[in-house]
Amino acid sequence: MSIIPSAALALLLTLAAPAALAERAAAEGDPERGAELASLCTGCHGQDGRSNISRYPSIAGLDPEGFTAGMQALQAGERGHLLKRMTRSLGKQEIADLAAYFATLE
Ligand code: HEC
């Protein structure tokens, strides 16, 4: 074996290991990471997920299961969402993080 493929393999293994760890951690939402992502949402859903504008529902204090179910329905196109493309681009982990964050708000 030449030195180049084994170096490439070593690099691949180094890159793959953290990804595998991240996947295992994906079960639980991280509210801190959710708080960072929330800036995508608060423009419409209000600061801290509390909206004063009737056409934008408040999303603070939803329980994580309800939030996740709501997001999945939006992603599946079962319900409309103004930002369909944006909600579709969110992964499972991001939704779990957002759910964990908004659940901490009242
Ligand atoms: C451009 C404005 C806008 C942005 C940005 C936005 N939303 Fe929405 N969202 C809406 C509107 C309007 C609705 C009500 C459904 C509809 O008519 O689109 C809604 C509905 C929802 C619902 C359903 C609430 C319920 O009552 O069940 C959830 C959950 C939700 N949004 C989550 C999010 C999350 C999470 C983000 C950020 C990743 C986000 N939204 C960003 C406008 C927005």
Q: What is the CATH number of the domain that holds 40?
A: 1.10.760.10
Residue 3 lies in a domain: no
Helical spans, DSSP H, in 25-63: 31-37, 42-45
Check if the beta carbon of residue 100 is closer than 8 Å to that of residue 64: yes
Separation of alpha carbons 96 and 23, rounded Å: 13
**For residue 18, is pLDDT > 60?**
no
- The DSSP code for 40 is G
The CA 58 to ligand 1 mean position distance, Å, reads 9
Q: In the predicted model, is pLDDT for residue 17 greater than 80? A: no
57 within a domain of the structure (yes/no): yes
Look at residue 85 in the predicted model and tell me its pLDDT: 73
What's the 34 CA to ligand 1 centre distance in angstroms?
15
Predicted confidence (pLDDT) per residue in 47-80, tens digit: 999 999 988 889 999 999 999 998 888 888 877 6
- For residues 48 and 60, the answer to whether their CB atoms sit within 8 Å is yes
Distance CA 80, CA 55 (A): 12
Assess if residue 99 is contained within a domain.
yes
For 26, the token pair is: 């994906």
In a domain, 72, yes or no: yes
Asked if residue 16 is part of any domain, the answer here is no
State the residue range of the domain holding 90.
28-103
The domain total for the chain is 1
Residue 17 maps to a domain: no
Can you tell me which residue has the tokens 């409309």? 80
The answer to the question of residue 90 being in a domain is yes
Question: In this structure, is residue 32 part of a structural domain?
Answer: yes
Residue ID of nearest Cα to ligand 1 atom 37: 41
